[in-house]
Every structure is written in structure tokens, then in C-alpha cells.
Structure 1
Amino acid sequence: MIRNVIGSILALVGATAAVWSPFRGWYDGRHGRDYRIQDPFGGITPNDGALFTSLLLPMAFAALVTLVGLLLRSRFMVALAGVIVLGFTVLWMVRQGQEVGSLAVGGDGDGLGLGVALALGGGVLLLLAAALMSGRGTLRHRREEPYDEEPQGQSPADDWGPYGQDPDGPVPYRDRDADTASYPRYEEPEAPPRPSRFRRR
């Protein structure tokens, strides 16, 4: 329970950092929202993209996946959100390095800015949250056998003992499978006739 709470908090912080990152400088003071979503795949261009077709789109999508993963208590979805954030950030860094020749680390106005740090930190926090979460618990209930269930491999006739069936005996010697079942009652045999006291002469 505590691990889920800590993991959920880290996931929310990571998702917030990822969504906030495009509104900070990524390189040379250029914000992440100014990079088009296709720039990490086709190369960095000076053309600015619209807000919802910029790097904000994958970050917002990762935040949505995070929320769904927290609601479903899915470690996989939280980890997937972290992979999306880190994947787009690292891919952008590779393309930006190819564009300028080498990446310099600086502030919002020179080199890599705070936006990249927020994105990388948010992705790492999401992966850490997925590792901490215990996920959806699976309760395994042991199936209890009925009280009157016969053991496997044993027939009801095995309970009668060495002297055969006793229909007048107590349970378990009665039929337990049918409520209306009945057995023929035991009747004593008729006694043989006594010899007469008077003998015929």
C-alpha cells in the first residue's frame, strides 16, 4: 500500500515535469513547444510548429497514459509513459546534436535548457514510480471442498465397513446423494416351528 502511494506521487510529479518541459527552453532559449513533433524524426528545422503539434503532444500523451495507469494500478502503463518521455527527449537530443554539431549544456539562453532537464527527470521519475508500484493485487482464494464431498477414488460403498450396509445406522451410513432414497428394512427371519410335546404313537 505504501509503495503504491509513493509510486503514485512520483508518477504524478514526473508527468507534471514532462508536460511543463515544452514551456521551458530546450536549446539556445528555444522552447520545446516551438519544435515540431516531426523534427526528432526528420531533422531539426527553424520552422515553428503549432502548440498541439509540437513536443507538447507526446508529453501530454505520456501524462494521459500515466493517469490511466494510476487508475488501473498498471505498472506497465506507467513505465510506458516514462519510455515515451525519455524516447522523444533522447531522439530530439540526437537530432539537435546532428544539427549544431555538438550539444552544449547551459541555461535557458545558451545550450541545453531547463526544458530538457525537466523532460529527462520526468521520464526517470515515471520509470522509478513503475518500479516502486506493486501493481494490481491478485487474491487467490482457496476453494473449500463441500463437507459431504466424497474423497477422490473412493465410492460411497467404501464407507460401509466390513459388515456391509447398515440402513438403520447413523450418518454417514445413509445415502447422502438423494434425499428420497430408502433402503429395505431388515426383517428378522421367522423362527422355525417348535416341536410338539406330544408325539404320535
Structure 2
Amino acid sequence: MVRNVLGAVIAAAGAAGALWSPFHGWYDGRRGRDYRVVELFTPSGISGHGSGLLSSLFLAFLGAAAVALAGIVLRSRLLVAGAGAVVPGFTILWMVRQGQVHGSLAVESDGTGLGLGVALALAGGVLLLLGAVVMRGRRGRGRHVRGYSQPSSPYGTAARDEPDVPGPDPGGTEVPDTGEPDERAHGPKPPSWQRTSDERW
């Protein structure tokens, strides 16, 4: 329980960082929300044109944050880890495409080059992956409880289904069949004054 709560907090912080990153500068002061997400997959690459909020990198990070939120609610480590892979994946892809335009990427002391938004996106992805590792996930319903084992035949069905075959006498001596009732099975023979009239004297 504690691990799930701690992992959820870490994953939520990572999702928040990823959502906040497009509103900061990514390269030369240009914010992440100014890059169209479709340009990452086109042959022409990144252009100098602006972009709307829901068609920019914010859309990819919004989807990742929604998946992470679903993973936190459902306590699914797989969903949180998937969101954690999407955020740095889009960030690294953007860096590759941006490097193709400028020839190289750098961080300058005057604030040009890679900006704070890239760092927030990468940190958010790392936090999402860390949250997935910390989370314990949902425990299976049919998990074996330690110290308890279910009996294979609770009512002795295995022994009851076996045919009742008479065996030898426990003492090792067989009793001859004389036609008289066995006193060990039916008790001692009643005295003569208790016999019924249909018995032979």
C-alpha cells in the first residue's frame, strides 16, 4: 500500500512536469507548444511555422499524462511505464529532428540552444518510469495464502469412493464360516429364552 502511494506521487509529479514543459523554451527561446507534433514524422522535418496548443508537442504529453493517470487509478505499472516511455521518446525524437535543422544541438550560457522545457520533459519521463518501478501494482485475487493449504478431499471422498472389499482378520486368523452369526459383528448370541418362535432349537 505504501509503495503504491509513493509510486503514484512520483508518477503524478512526472506527468505534471511533462505537461508543463511545452510552456517553456525548448530551443533558442522557442517554446515546445510552438512545434507541431506532426512535423516530427514528416520528411521535411521541423519548420519555422507556429502551432496551435492541441496540435503541438503538448498533445503528445497530454496523452501520456492521461495514460499515467489511468495507471495510477488502476494501480497498473504497465500503463505508468508506457507513459514514461512516451514522454522521453517524443523528446528525443524532437532533438533528432531539431538537430537535422541546425546541424547540432547545444546549451549556451546566454540562454540560447536547448532550454528548460527539454529538461522538464526528460525529467518527467524519468519520474514516470521511477514511479512505475516503485509501485507494487495490483495483487492477484487467487494468490496462495501462506500457511494455508486447501485439502484435496475435504469430506474424504477419495476414501469413500474406494470399494469396500473385505480383508483378512486383523489378528491374522480367518474365522471359518459356520453359518452362525459372527458375535464380533452382531454381538453375543442371545440366550435361549429370548429366541423367537421361528428359530430352530
TM-score band w.r.t. shorter chain: 0.7 to 0.9
> What secondary structure is seen at the aligned counterpart in 2 of 1:47?
coil
Structure 2 runs not aligned, ≥5 long: 170-184, 186-195
2-structure distance, mates of 1:8, 1:107: 36
> What secondary structure is seen at the aligned counterpart in 1 of 2:140?
coil
2-structure distance, mates of 1:101, 1:120: 21
Letter in structure 2 aligned against 1:150? T
**Cα separation, partners in 2 of 1:6 and 1:111, compared to 1, 3 Å:** same
Where does residue 69 of structure 1 map in the other structure? 71
Where does residue 36 of structure 2 map in the other structure? 36
CA drift at 1:134: 1.1
2-structure distance, mates of 1:72, 1:162: 65
Identity %: 53
CA drift at 1:158: 4.0
| TM-score (norm. length: structure 1) | 0.75
| TM-score (norm. length: structure 2) | 0.75
Letter in structure 2 aligned against 1:82? G
CA drift at 1:155: 1.9
CA drift at 1:66: 0.4
Structure 1 runs not aligned, ≥5 long: 164-168, 170-187, 194-201
Between the two proteins, the alignment pairs up a number of residues equal to 169
CA drift at 1:146: 6.3
Where does residue 161 of structure 2 map in the other structure? 155
What do the CA deviations read for 1:10-44 (whole angstroms, capped 9, x no partner)?
Answer: 10000000000000000000000000011222211
What do the CA deviations read for 1:42-98 (whole angstroms, capped 9, x no partner)?
Answer: 211001111100000000100000000011111110001011101100000000111
CA drift at 1:8: 0.6
**Cα separation, partners in 2 of 1:20 and 1:107, compared to 1, 3 Å:** farther
Where does residue 16 of structure 1 map in the other structure? 16
Written as runs of structure 1 = structure 2, the 5 A alignment for 1:1-201 is: 1-42=1-42, 43-106=45-108, 109-139=111-141, 140=143, 143=150, 147-151=154-158, 155=161, 157-158=163-164, 191-193=199-201
User: What CA RMSD, in Å, does the superposition of the two structures yield over aligned residues?
Assistant: 2.7
